Structure 1
């Protein structure tokens, strides 16, 4: 069962509606335009359903923004710096992978002493009251984001170069052609004619055989399971059974 932990009325200023679904301490945001001529709407018209943004948490988004702007690596198109939170959204043009990157940070405090290390730490995009959305995160603690894959634009086969670019811009550690976040991995595949750049797949770990089997059953009943994955919102969702050693199943 999917648990929605927050709907943000503030996104209406961009002609969007949204809701947030937790994968343990990680979050999937689903947005849908209700007005014409929105950025998200134009992207949907161009590509169809699919990924829109990648939101990353870092230790100091303000310091990283200063570095990015000083080097001319990317252009900030929206953001804010308020109280203990810094947020910066970057224009996707020139950044390989076809996604709008966002870099956020939370300053440590009494209610959030280790923002990058605590799996269920407060997150500004979920609203101001951690007590409201924390239970929803805990209910999905058997789920964990493991990784995602971005397709490059047609004609671009430089998946390692893409990883190097993200490493340079956003400071994410790289292992050859994979970006090694603290909680997941981000990879790239070569572009393909007739296929738009952008998010191809998301992999989620499921640390419960009972919930893994139930998820597979519901996906089959809904008619979205096939070819070893769930196809939904224009994205391939791969689920792997974790915590059972090398014999773990895959969905």
Structure 2
């Protein structure tokens, strides 16, 4: 089990995509026409064999649009975690009375989205791929779009909450994995990735506040971020999310 894809929601997709491309020297592999089902447009960018996605509403009264209003603008939106056993995962969710708001039926790319009120902090998607190193949501040609000259992979997400202890319990239940207190916050470790729960720091309410990325040269990335005007009080900020360099 690991964090495989992190999603930002923005009023306008393309400016956020441009910021990500310019800072990290990555590129879009896929614009998914199927996401119109949710009243959205998107762009998916490989980061090694993990992925960033930017979504924007193209219809009124979407879940994403309400989220933008509630949190006062762009920000983190979804956390997509890859699981090894889909049926076991779905059974655990159902046994704990967690509601599934969407399910993909593709046997090679199974996914369930959990009701945000049942886990809190983000729309949590639990996804299974066959083969495990594939990723349908990034298109057929994503491997040819990988560039790890600057950034190697996503390694974590920080989710803020007024009550991080309670949110941790819900995520532990959904994932079937116990968390622990670590220096950065309450943490669920998922292989080489992690989900960290922290106290609300900016008054925007519950939601993903930072994405953690592994880069080759943090100093050069910070310098580039400053050049691009992406620093906020000394931290990289894109689309309402901090990017923490590791």
Shorter-chain TM-score bucket reads: 0.7 to 0.9
8 Å contact from structure 2 (residues 159, 196) kept in 1: yes
- How far 1:198 moved relative to its partner? 0.5
Which residue of structure 2 lines up, in the alignment, with residue 169 of structure 1? 174
- Mapping of residues 176-195 of structure 1, within 5 Å: 176=181, 177-191=186-200, 194-195=203-204
Instruction: Compare CA radii of gyration and give the structure with the larger one.
Output: 1
TM-score (norm 2): 0.80
- For residue 147 of structure 1, what is the aligned residue in structure 2? 156
Task: Point out the structure with the larger strand share.
Answer: 2
Deviation at 1:95, TM superposition (A): 1.6
Where does residue 126 of structure 2 map in the other structure?
103
Unaligned runs of 5+ in 2: 1-24
The two structures have a TM-score, normalised by structure 1, of: 0.79
SS in 2 for 1:2: coil
Q: Is 1:80 matched with 2:104? A: yes
CA contact (8 A) 1:86 1:105 kept: yes
Q: Does the 8 Å CA contact 1:23/1:141 hold for their aligned counterparts?
A: no
**Distance change >3 Å, CA 160–CA 194, structure 1 → 2:** closer
2:146 — aligned with what?
Answer: 137
Please list the CA deviations of residues 11-52 of structure 1 after superposition, one character each: whole Å capped at 9, or x if unmatched. 112211100112211111100111111110111122111111
For these two proteins, the number of residue pairs brought into alignment is 217
The one-character-per-residue Cα deviations of 1:134-164 (angstroms, maximum 9, x if unpaired) are 12235468422222211113xx2xx344323
Equivalent residues of 2:235, 2:243 under 8 A apart: yes
Other-structure match for 1:6 = 30
Q: Report 1 or 2 for greater relative contact order, CA contacts < 8 Å, sequence distance ≥ 6.
A: 2
Match of 1:220 in 2: 226
1:247 counterpart residue number: none
